[in-house]
Amino acid sequence: MGIESLVRPEILNLKRYVTARQESATVRMNANELPWPSQSDSATVPLMPLNRYPEIRPQQLQEVLADYYGVPLKCLLATRGSSEAIDLLIRAFCQAGRDSIVVTPPTFSMYRVYADIQGAETLSAPMLPCNNFQLDVDALLATCKPGTKIIFICSPNNPTGHVTPAAQILEIARARREKSIVVVDEAYAEFSEAVSLCSSLEGFDNIVVLRTLSKALALAGARCGAVVGAAPLIGWLDAMLAPYALATPVIDSVLRAFTVENLRTSRDALAHIVRERERLRKALSSQSQVEHIWPSQTNFLLVRFRNLGRVVDQLRLQRILVRDFPHDTQLAECARITVGTPEENDLLIAALRDGGEVS
C-alpha cells in the first residue's frame, strides 16, 4: 500500500492541466505568445528570450539540482522556494477539517501557516530549552493522531540552529510508516556537517527532504528550492504545481550559479560564513548583556540576552535588525542573529559593547 493511502483522493485522481506542446526547432503558434522578444530583453541579454513561455518543468535545472543533492531525477521537483513545497505537501496530504500536521516548536512558522490555510490542525511536540531543544521522539509519536499526515522536522532547525540526529528521524519514519510522511526541512543543511537525509530516501517512501537555494547558495531573490522524495509522491506534487512555475530569468540565474567556478566561489563564501559565525559567537559570549548562545550549524545564532528589549533598542539606534520572538514564551529574551559580512558583524559587536557600557 505505502504512501498512496495517505494522499488526498482528489490529488490521486487529479486531471493534469494540459499545456501547449513544447518541442525544439518548431514554429510555436500554439501558446498565444508574441513572436518577438520584449524590448527589455536587450538590457540583460538573457539565455532565453522572454516572449516565450519557459519550459513547463526546467529539465536542465532539475538535472543540475538532482546532481547537486545526489538524488535520482525522478525523485526531485524544483519549486518556487521551499515555501512552495511546504504548501504543496500540505495540500496534497491534508484534508480540511480532518487531518493534521505535527510540528516541533520552536521551529519555522510557515508549516503552521500553510496548515491553517488548508484547514488542517497543527499539533505540537515542543523541543524544550531545558532539554537543549533536543527532540523527544516518544513524545512526538504520542502527539500524532490517526489523521496526522505530515510530521515536519526542521534540521538544522530555524531558529535554534541545532541538528536532529538522522537516527531519530529514521526512527520516527519507521514508527509512522503508512501513517504519516516525515518532511525534513534542510534549508540550512550546507552550513552543517550532518549528512543529508537525501541519502536515506531509498529505504523510506515516507521521508521527504526540502532543500533551498535561498541560503547557502545566496539566491533568495531567485525563489528556487526543491522537494526530494519517492518518485510517486514527486509525481503527485508535479501534477499540482502550476505549469511554467519557474520564470525564465530564474532558470537563467540558477543555471549560472551552478557553473564549476561559481560553485567554488559559493563554497568559499559558505566557509567564510561558518568562520564568521564562530568569531561572532566568541565576541558575543564575552559581552555582559549576553546570557546564553546555543551551538549553531546554520548561518545564524540564537542568543538569550539579559534584557532583550534594551538590546533591540540599542541595535535599532545603529539601524541593525535582529529577529525577536515576542509571542513565544520558550524564546523569551532571545534573538536570532544572522551572520553578516565581517564589517556588519563588527558593527553589531561594537553596538552591543558600547550600549552595554552606557548603562
With CB under 6 A as the contact rule, the residue among 71, 75, 76, 83 that binds ligand PMP is 83
Considering the complex, state which of residue 55 and residue 185 has its C-beta at the smaller distance from ligand PMP. 185
What is the pattern of x (binds ligand PMP, CB under 6 A) and - over residues 203-242? ---------x-x-----x----x-----------------
Instruction: State how far the Cα of 355 lies from the Cα of 357, in Å rounded to an integer.
Output: 6
Tally Cβ neighbours within 10 Å of residue 349. Answer: 17
Tell me if 289 contacts ligand PMP by CB under 6 A. Answer: no
With CB under 6 A as the contact rule, the residue among 58, 81, 105, 355 that binds ligand PMP is 81
Where do we find the cell 539565455? 47
To ligand PMP, the closest distance from the beta carbon of 167 in angstroms equals: 21
Residue nearest to ligand PMP (CB): 81
Considering the complex, state which of residue 129 and residue 225 has its C-beta at the smaller distance from ligand PMP. 225
Considering the complex, state which of residue 92 and residue 216 has its C-beta at the smaller distance from ligand PMP. 216
Considering the complex, state which of residue 83 and residue 104 has its C-beta at the smaller distance from ligand PMP. 83
Per CB under 6 A, the segment of 77-85, 237-245, 288-296, 345-353 that binds ligand PMP is 77-85
Residue 233 contacts residue 201 (beta carbons within 8 Å): no
Considering the complex, state which of residue 251 and residue 352 has its C-beta at the smaller distance from ligand PMP. 251
Beta strand pairing call for 148-154 and 181-185: parallel
The dihedrals phi and psi of 335, each to the nearest 5 degrees, come to -135, 145
The count of C-alpha atoms lying within 13 angstroms of the C-alpha of 93, restricted to the half-sphere facing its C-beta, is 32
| Of the candidates 103, 109, 150, the residue with the CA atom closest to the CA atom of residue 123 | 103
- Cell numbers linked to 76: 526531485
What is the pattern of x (binds ligand PMP, CB under 6 A) and - over residues 135-174? -------------------x---x----------------
- Cell numbers linked to 120: 488542517
The count of C-alpha atoms lying within 13 angstroms of the C-alpha of 96, restricted to the half-sphere facing its C-beta, is 6
With CB under 6 A as the contact rule, the residue among 58, 76, 82, 106 that binds ligand PMP is 82
Q: Helix or strand or coil: residue 196?
A: coil
How many positions of this chain bind ligand PMP (CB under 6 A)?
A: 12
Residue 288 contacts residue 356 (beta carbons within 8 Å): yes
The count of C-alpha atoms lying within 13 angstroms of the C-alpha of 339, restricted to the half-sphere facing its C-beta, is 27
To ligand PMP, the closest distance from the beta carbon of 260 in angstroms equals: 24
Residue 299 contacts residue 339 (beta carbons within 8 Å): yes
Q: Cβ contacts of residue 49 below 8 Å, gap of 6+?
A: 37, 38, 41, 248
Considering the complex, state which of residue 80 and residue 149 has its C-beta at the smaller distance from ligand PMP. 80
To ligand PMP, the closest distance from the beta carbon of 283 in angstroms equals: 24
To ligand PMP, the closest distance from the beta carbon of 111 in angstroms equals: 9
Element (H, E) at 211: strand 207-212
With CB under 6 A as the contact rule, the residue among 69, 108, 114, 133 that binds ligand PMP is 108
Q: Rounded to whole angstroms, what are the CA distances from 88 to 17, 29, 196?
A: 16, 32, 22
- Per-state percent for the chain, helix, strand, coil, to nearest 5: 45, 15, 45
Tell me if 187 contacts ligand PMP by CB under 6 A. Answer: yes
Helices and strands counted in the chain (H then E): 12, 11
Considering the complex, state which of residue 104 and residue 180 has its C-beta at the smaller distance from ligand PMP. 104
Tell me if 296 contacts ligand PMP by CB under 6 A. Answer: no
Considering the complex, state which of residue 126 and residue 225 has its C-beta at the smaller distance from ligand PMP. 225
Beta strand pairing call for 181-185 and 225-228: unpaired
Per CB under 6 A, the segment of 79-87, 165-173, 228-236, 333-341 that binds ligand PMP is 79-87
Interface contacts to ligand PMP, rule CB under 6 A: 81-83, 108, 154, 158, 185, 187, 212, 214, 220, 225
